Amino acid sequence: MTSESAHRAIGVAVLGLGNVGSEVVRILREHSEDLEARVGAPLELRGVAVRRPGKDRGIPEELQTTDAESLVARDDVDLVVEVIGGMDLPRKLILSALNSGKSVVTANKALLADHTGELAEAAELHNVDLYFEAAVAGAIPVIRPLIQSLAGDRVNKVAGIVNGTTNFILSAMDETGADYAATLAEAGRLGYAEADPTADVEGYDAAAKAAILASIAFHTRVTAADVYREGISKITAADLTSARALDCTIKLLSICERITTPEGKERISARVYPALVPLEHPLASVNGAFNAVVVEAENAGRLMFYGQGAGGAPTASAVMGDLVMAARNKVNGGRGPRESKYAKLKIAPIGDIPTRYYVNMQVADKAGVLSAVAAEFSQHGVSISTVRQEGAGDGARLVVVTHVATDSALSETVEALSKLEFVTAVTSVLRLEGTEQ
Amino acid sequence: MTSESAHRAIGVAVLGLGNVGSEVVRILREHSEDLEARVGAPLELRGVAVRRPGKDRGIPEELQTTDAESLVARDDVDLVVEVIGGMDLPRKLILSALNSGKSVVTANKALLADHTGELAEAAELHNVDLYFEAAVAGAIPVIRPLIQSLAGDRVNKVAGIVNGTTNFILSAMDETGADYAATLAEAGRLGYAEADPTADVEGYDAAAKAAILASIAFHTRVTAADVYREGISKITAADLTSARALDCTIKLLSICERITTPEGKERISARVYPALVPLEHPLASVNGAFNAVVVEAENAGRLMFYGQGAGGAPTASAVMGDLVMAARNKVNGGRGPRESKYAKLKIAPIGDIPTRYYVNMQVADKAGVLSAVAAEFSQHGVSISTVRQEGAGDGARLVVVTHVATDSALSETVEALSKLEFVTAVTSVLRLEGTEQ
């Protein structure tokens, strides 16, 4: 290295020594020369907050502490990396760091989705950085491109596969034909699903990420509570088979969209649900634990970002990018671009959101069924694109794909359908994304 | 808009009113409120340098000037957008802007590939920004993710389709089976190729972009002269047919790679050539005028960025992102992260670069040909992966795909092959990228 750093060292505290924390510490130690050249000053690890210190943690014991608060408060700590996870403790520690003039890098999407407002204000007040590239889509640069690269454009839609667990399960169901329960169990055995998979399979994790993406894309504060959410636990092997027959697959999507109401008002929508995606759509071929985010902007057109959405090293890559940028800002005396919330757009209720639908019904195998079903759709103003009859006798099914309709019109249609004599059950209602009309 | 800008207006000069310049001016005027909220101050267009002023240029005549130098020198101009293209004039204007403390946004890849050093030093000296996201891959954020998001990682390879003209031609040849000359003519008629297509089809444009990408990825100054370059003008319809038979297509790739020599020395390589790419590789399905860049980094793994690589509005989106960032830095008194060149890695000569090869030969339809050919490969230490015999009699061909070998070993093999009695001609030698071994 030829760089001579004139600047004093930048002190770093890492909170948490799990998958991501261990990788961050490894990179800090293995690549110190490169990092110093890029920052313009040495990055020095002051300490790591751990719950269980010990000789077996892979770092010298004198760097370990159970007292995260004192570590954050140290005078020689300039930057704090929060990779503990959870809510109350990291919130308190991050606020304490920001309020004492320290920049913070965090991967904590749940915390950000609920508390970005409070955290961003503290960062603003103390003129420090709050970076969180690792909170959405792991190693894939998405936050920074949205905040910076698209700062002169108008983002109309962000649609992504941002949860690896559900994508692994849906990809495996599509490939093997196995049902949801068996595939979830297999994902658990392989380490792709946690012991309590609720946050992933019910879409809470994807909803937190949707809130973060929508906030940034639309310059408006959006929290997890603003995000409409459905998980994948009701998806059946039969749904995937029907999807294939329609040249589609099923993906759990996080969608953020700019909507114009029939009255011409500008609204935004943030929503998470499993949807049929045409096989030729770029998101359809994103399989297993990979993530991808498609951004549609007025001038840029459609962009796609693809890569590893989880895992220690990929997530640490994103954390380290933020860390180097925050450290450069410390060295140069400035701070980086931040998210903004000036637009203050209102959230459209899910009932107003127009999409296409796939409706799968168990029906009596009789003449007149199709016309009765079609009449219900028509009466509620929902236009049918295709109808497909599957099976016969007791196993007879009708698979309807609609043109664009609002969620409320579709819900009313489904309610009316389930009251029809010929319709034994409406077994699945899923949205169809990634097509026109 | 609720934002109240306390800061004085930021004055912008736009040099050039072609496809990109017109779109930049349109966005500045149509989205002034949004842009002001994001910058923290109004962006005011002070003037546009045009070669041919007139009432028909879409902007008020008082904003047009033929005197670019005086426009750049105006006291109320803080930021200069250079979208003239060319070399000497923009170089002079950009230097003059930087030297008078103005930040510069440019899309000029040819200029940057040759003169980044000089321009970056002027920006450094005067503490202003020199941004150029639009110079590579149009609307796709690639420069900023490489400089910032991957600042804490170690990039090992960047491989991209970054020239729309050649990608359009190769995609069309693959689809229609037409030959190069007819497809080039068609591309010209459709506006995808210029009257003089040399810069595109001979790989000069892709090489300039490779130099920029390699500089940033490896923290080392790389110029266009350092980039090994082959164009697509010798690609035949037969090559595309043979590629299909190998489950591949042909793409013009810009590749930047970190190499370890047999002696254990770290080197880098930047090169542009048409290569066979397996159909299942993500770059194989990037068709028409689209661009895509794959980045492989030690911790992030493989990332892909995809979108529109050219055109007025997409390129203007990238320019505007840079413009907003540079303007924010003016408002906040800092400057953004810049490229660095501390690593000073040496360029490996093309002869040392290991890749796989596809060799297509016209051969005599006789017994013993295959063994004679295989012997030549073996004698030069080039290991064969597959051999395929096509046609018979006078049209007999041998298509050999090798394992990884250095360019020099392969060149020696080809020279020896062409001296063989049985080999009428070695008609194509192409590299195979995107596979292991």
β-pair partners for B361: B398, B426
Cα–chain-centroid distance for residue B128? 25
Task: Name the segment(s) of chain A with CATH classification 3.30.70.260.
Answer: 353-432
Give the span between the Cα atoms of A106 and A130, in whole angstroms.
8
**Maximum pairwise Cα distance, chain A:** 85
Task: Name the segment(s) of chain B with CATH classification 3.30.70.260.
Answer: 350-432
Chain A CB contacts of B308 under 8 Å are 300-302
pLDDT for the residue numbered B419: 94
A1, A299, A329 member nearest B27 (Cβ): A299
Q: Average pLDDT of B154-183? A: 97
Q: Average pLDDT of B80-92? A: 96
pLDDT for the residue numbered A2: 39
CB A156 within 8 A of CB A303: no
pLDDT for the residue numbered B436: 73
Give the span between the Cα atoms of B386 and B377, in whole angstroms.
12
Closest chain A C-alpha to B153 CA, distance in angstroms? 6
CB contact under 8 A, A321 and B37: no
Chain B CB contacts of A323 under 8 Å are 152
This model of the complex carries an ipTM of 0.94
CB contact under 8 A, B139 and A299: yes
> Tens digit of pLDDT per residue, chain A (437 long)?
334 457 899 999 999 999 999 999 999 999 999 999 999 999 999 999 999 999 999 899 999 999 999 999 999 999 999 999 999 999 999 999 999 999 999 999 999 999 888 999 999 999 999 999 999 999 999 999 999 999 999 999 999 999 999 999 999 999 999 999 999 999 999 999 999 999 999 999 999 999 999 999 999 999 999 999 999 999 999 999 999 999 999 999 999 999 998 889 999 999 999 999 999 998 999 998 899 999 999 999 999 999 999 899 999 999 999 999 999 999 988 888 887 889 999 999 999 999 999 999 999 988 889 999 999 999 999 999 999 988 888 889 999 999 999 999 999 999 999 999 999 999 999 999 998 76
Would you say domain A353-432 falls under CATH 3.30.70.260?
Answer: yes
Q: Is B209 a catalytic residue?
A: yes
CB contact under 8 A, A300 and B319: no
What is the tens place of the pLDDT at every residue in A208-267? Answer: 999 999 999 999 999 999 999 999 999 999 999 999 999 999 999 999 999 998 889 999
CB B102 within 8 A of CB B130: no
pLDDT for the residue numbered A394: 86
> A10-136+312-332 is classed in which CATH architecture?
3-Layer(aba) Sandwich (3.40)
CB B385 within 8 A of CB B403: yes
DSSP structural state of residue B352: G
Q: How far is CA A161 from CA A252, A259, B142, in A?
A: 6, 21, 21
> A143-310 is classed in which CATH architecture?
2-Layer Sandwich (3.30)
pLDDT for the residue numbered A334: 80
pLDDT for the residue numbered A366: 87
CATH topology of domain B10-137+312-332: Rossmann fold (3.40.50)
A154, A308, A344 member nearest B301 (Cβ): A308
Chain A interface test: which of B2, B148, B305 (most A C-beta within 10 Å): B148
Domain B350-432 top-level CATH class = alpha beta
Is A58 annotated to bind a ligand? Reply is: no
Give the span between the Cα atoms of B249 and B177, in whole angstroms.
12
pLDDT for the residue numbered A437: 60
Is A17 annotated to bind a ligand? Reply is: yes
CB A36 within 8 A of CB A43: yes
Per annotation, catalytic residue among B92, B102, B157, B209: B209
> B143-309 is classed in which CATH architecture?
2-Layer Sandwich (3.30)
What is the tens place of the pLDDT at every residue in A276-322? Answer: 999 999 899 999 889 999 999 999 999 999 999 989 999 999 999 99
Nearest C-alpha in B relative to A138:
B300
B1, B144, B324 member nearest A144 (Cβ): B144
Helix intervals (H) in B190-308: 198-201, 204-218, 237-245
CB A322 within 8 A of CB A131: yes
